[in-house]
Copies of this chain bind each other. A is one copy, B any other.
Amino acid sequence: MIDRLVIVGVGLIGGSVALALRRAGQIGHIVGIGRTPGNLAQALAHGVIDEAADDYARGVAEASCVLLAVPVGQIAGVLARIAPYLPENAVVTDAGSTKGGVAALARRHLDRRLPMFVPGHPIAGAEQSGVGAAQAALFQGKDVVLTPLPETDSSAIAQVRGLWQACGAVVSQMTPEAHDRVFAAVSHLPHLLSFALVEDIAGKENASQLFHYAASGFRDFTRIAGSSPEMWRDICLANRQALLQELDGYRGQIDRLRQALATEDGAALEAVFDRARAARNRWLDNQEPSRDET
């Protein structure tokens, strides 16, 4: 049970947390803070939040928990603004898609309040945005990864774990570095590769002919190239080191395939395709029905 939750950024994620906690009966009062007055007014009108605060000082004054549900690129600014006003025992958490950078920002801005900060990443939602897309069931059965620092207070971790479990999520824990390596491989790299393919094709002289013949495989491969450029710029920059490492590993893979192709080594190509298909099929067999990101 959280007495007074302050949500900074009442969009798809922040709004869905509010709705889920209300449904679970695990929330007292919810204060919303946001950049977009219209969005905040909508959240208030629809009962997603109980109160809209227009400044950070008043907003967080009596918070028991603060959830930063803003894009990764805005977390530094928000942390700097709320830090002076945070109550002694307020737990702070975030929902950003990268964690090493967020942990470093918390270290820089939160000072003696650092132990009350629990970095987190819900693996849910992405296609739509804004509080209008929020839904109580968004996190039901979805993964949430918490990435506490060595200094993080164990009761703060327990509270944030409780918050996400009340939302129906499956909570796991790893270091910020491990988190960033995992998501560099399974999310950030595929996004980069997908953007790169569309850019590659769009830049060719016969681009319109190429797009004309592009089919369903191309559509699925490039679906994630329809994601927000601003958000993905921030994610790539924030997770630069891990992403560079994954990218280099992938280029090695591509180079081996290129070599097999250049030497007409059909057996090597088929072996790679075969292993990949088998691994993907095993994954699909073990997977829950659907899982969104970022």
Q: With the chains together, A231 CA to B122 CA distance in Å?
A: 39
A274, CB-defined interface residue at 8 Å: yes
Q: Given A195-B272, A250-B197, A257-B192, answer yes or no on A240-B211 (Cβ-Cβ < 8 Å).
A: no
A187, CB-defined interface residue at 8 Å: yes
Q: Given A193-B197, A272-B195, answer yes or no on A258-B247 (Cβ-Cβ < 8 Å).
A: yes
Q: Given A215-B186, A247-B261, answer yes or no on A220-B224 (Cβ-Cβ < 8 Å).
A: yes
A199, CB-defined interface residue at 8 Å: yes
**From residue A76, how far is it (CB to closest CB) to chain B in Å?**
14
Q: How many copies does the complex hold?
A: 2
CB neighbours (8 Å) of A23 from chain B are none
Indicate the member of A145, A191, A277, A290 with the most B CB atoms within 10 Å: A277
Residue contact B275 to A199, C-beta cutoff 8 Å? yes
A103-140 with Cβ < 8 A to chain B? 123, 126
Residue contact B283 to A215, C-beta cutoff 8 Å? no
Q: With the chains together, A244 CA to B258 CA distance in Å?
A: 7
7 new A-B contacts at CB < 8 Å, known A196-B250, A198-B280, A214-B291: A123-B213, A182-B210, A190-B221, A207-B279, A217-B224, A220-B221, A233-B266
